Amino acid sequence: MASSYFFSLPIITFFVLFLLPVPPSAATSPETKSPPENEELFTHLQKLTKPAIKTIQSPDGDVIDCVPSHLQPAFDHPKLKGTKLLDSPEMPGGDVFSGEVEVGDEVQRWRISGEVCPEGTIAVRRATESDVLRASSIRSFGRKPAAVIRRDSTGGGHEHAVGYANGDWYGAKASLGVWTPAVSTATEFSLSQIWVISGSFNGDLNTIEAGWQVNPQLYGDSSPRFFTYWTTDSYQETGCYNLLCSGFVQTTNKIAIGAAISPTSIYGREQFDITLLVWKDPKHGHWWLQFGSGLLVGYWPSSLFSHLAQSANMVQFGGEIFNSRSSPFHTATQMGSGHFAGEGFRRSAYFRNLQVVDSGNSLIPLYNLRVLADHQTCYDIRAGVNRAWGNYFYYGGPGRNLRCP
């Protein structure tokens, strides 16, 4: 479901932008024994690195493994062992906004050469030893920092500028601009995403999440990367980013979850956005993810969830940063473009064409949108409605500034 395109003023016009397993270390041979502290790391990487029939080297240093679909990490999950890939889901009906195009080779950096994984495989960004070692622990690798999550204030350093709507929902869709916000420290991140939520914020929260993020600790660089996330217990024990634990079932060979998005928006110039749709397939009850106008990325099986096994009671769109509070001042980690919502098009980050999926599997405009910014002097949000963008909002900010010390 990947769509990407550029805008130009004053009239918005869209242009199409549109195995090799890790070799065994000598330390594992019968003659030598790896240090105990490395055995857990080696075992974890072996679990994540599946046999590939082709490997693609990305110009940004990523290694993309083309893994046979039936060998992907998802099927290591106890609830998914022995299951098979599903047929295509029943797509939601309703409005399709102009500008949603097929995925081109330029949508991710590893596709720039024109190479793609063969049919019958999925594209997997290989996790490296360096990736794991940047995490605070092997156990925490691939997980969001746990926190008390609230919608009316920050929790554990997480700060938001979001639009949300309560109701009985079966999916959400939006187009979101892609930027490269500056992140102050390696332990902080900045992201823009869609959340599909059910349960309470007191410990049994179920979420499905998809968007882009800049996360130096997870990826080792400052590039915006396409990501997914899920949890069934408020980020405490379950779920992870991308394919870094079993659960999400990928079905595409054209997109690598966790790989860098290219191009990105430029302040005052071209704007680039992606369209994401998450919805519950009425045929099988699983939650599917589409990138752009028609690329099915994969699905979260309903058996992973408790509350989301039925429907969502909230959808949410917007930005989030993690403030590590490593200094007495507010972090200078940027959200969105790093500029406040009031600067508008070509300068502020945006979400446009906000929609939800109703119980009849139809996309409908999201009219009851509410907006919230945890710290309005650090990051803010402004919503509106027009014919070209439907329901939309601008959001973001620089973090530390004269009004956000």
**Active site positions, annotated:** 209, 320
Q: How many C-beta atoms surround the C-beta of residue 301 within 10 A?
A: 20
* d(C-alpha 276, C-alpha 353), whole Å: 11
For 311-333, give one letter per residue: b (16+ CB within 10 A) or e: bbbbbbbbbbbbbbeeeeebbbb
In this structure, what token pair is assigned to residue 219?
A: 């990826």
Exposure of 48 in the CB half-sphere (CA atoms within 13 A): 24
* d(C-alpha 336, C-alpha 214), whole Å: 10
Distances (CA, A) of 4 to 16, 158, 285, 317: 7, 28, 28, 18
Q: Which residues contact 63 (CB under 8 A, 6 or more apart)?
A: 55, 56, 57, 125, 126, 128
Nearest Cα to Cα of residue 363 among 249, 275, 254, 298: 275
Quote the distance between the C-alpha of residue 192 and its chain's center. 8
